[in-house]
Amino acid sequence: MPRNLDIDLLRSFAAIAQTRTLVQSARQVGRTPAALSMQVKKLESLLGQPLLNRTGRGVVLTFHGEKLLVRALEILRAHDEAVADLSGAGLVGTIRFGCPGDYASAFLPRVLREFAQHHPRVFVQVHCAPTPRLRERLRAHALDLALVSVAEGEDPAGVIRHEPLVWVGHAGDALAELDPLPLALSDEATLDHRLALEALTRAGRAWRIAYASEDLAGLISVVRSGLAIAVLTRSAVPPDLQVLPAGAGRPLPLLPGVGVKVAFDLARPPALVGAFAAVLETVVPVDP
């Protein structure tokens, strides 16, 4: 006889696998940590394979746990969509969406409003982080989809917006004349960090990274202090700061632009995720 996988067991396992802690996942599914632990043991017994290793820092998925997580997410999504469709309730469920801070401040309010108008019963979790961290979460199936940045001309398929990178400071800022140039940059793996340093190197400008922050608010705070200039997408520049002039004959070199595209954790995203992606492609303007 085939062994049947109980939906509640899969839902509890997926919660633990994604949060990596019993306490947080227990709050998410409305059970006690002890009850959740018993459910995982039951699932392990049913499959005859260990799924989780418990450590002092939380839980770690085994090889079989990683394989089951992908299948479990597919099954849960299909199950929830079927229930919603047959009950006439429309799309319901949870979407885990990732977005860099600059795109979140520029586009996310309108995206969420538009999506909520059509799918009011969907719960959207928003995670703001630089593109490299978002890609890591997508690979770990900790996000369903994300807006990510790609270098201009790199992987152009699916790009929904072209965004210029600009130097940001105060009007008439003398910092651009300093040698070395004091910078406030994001994560060193991000495009804005890498492209800024490449442009300065080509221009023969000396620079030093005076401040670093993965958080957009942190970078903007440093610029407001007058201690460094930053590199942001043009849409993220607040009204109290200025895009600093760049190009030939100026102390700052021109910066290239980046492309913005939607990335998914699964090659064939479910209907709920596809609906959110469709709103992103409709609402996010193609060009600034």
Please indicate, yes or no, if residue 1 is contained in any of the structural domains. no
Please indicate, yes or no, if residue 2 is contained in any of the structural domains. no
Please indicate, yes or no, if residue 288 is contained in any of the structural domains. no
Which burial class, exposed, middle or buried, applies to 143 when counting CB atoms under 10 A from its CB (0-12, 13-18, 19+)?
buried
CATH number at residue 31: 1.10.10.10
Q: Which value, in Å, is the radius of gyration of the alpha carbons in the chain?
A: 23
CATH number at residue 207: 3.40.190.10
Question: Which residues contact residue 240 at a Cβ distance below 8 angstroms, ignoring those fewer than 6 apart?
Answer: 224
Same domain? For 174 and 207 the reply is yes
- Residue by residue, DSSP assigns 209-250 as EEEE-SSHHHHHHHHHHTS-EEEEEGGG--TTSEEPP-STTS
pLDDT digits (tens, 9 = 90+) for 221-248: 999 999 999 999 998 898 899 999 998 8
Domain containing 192 equals 163-257
Looking at 11-25, 73-87, 152-166, 230-244, which range is the least confident one?
Answer: 73-87
Same domain? For 70 and 94 the reply is no
pLDDT digits (tens, 9 = 90+) for 140-198: 889 999 999 998 877 777 788 888 999 999 877 789 899 999 999 998 889 999 999 99
pLDDT at 14 (0 to 100): 86
Same domain? For 73 and 99 the reply is no
Looking at 28-42, 45-59, 83-97, 104-118, which range is the least confident one?
Answer: 83-97
Dmax (CA) of the chain: 78
Helix (H, G, I), strand (E, B) or coil at 202: helix
Per-residue b or e along 214-229, where b marks 16 or more CB atoms closer than 10 Å to that residue's CB: bebeebbebbeeeebb
Of 25, 46, 79, which closes a domain?
79
Same domain? For 251 and 215 the reply is yes
**Chain position carrying tokens 């049947």:** 4
Q: What is the mean pLDDT of residues 262-279?
A: 88
Among the residues of the chain, which ranges form H helices? 7-19, 22-29, 33-47, 63-87, 101-118, 131-139, 191-203, 216-225, 271-283
pTM over 0.85: no
Same domain? For 129 and 265 the reply is yes
Please indicate, yes or no, if residue 269 is contained in any of the structural domains. yes
User: Looking at the 3D structure of the chain, how many domains does it have?
Assistant: 3
Cα angle value 109/110/114 (rounded, 5°): 120
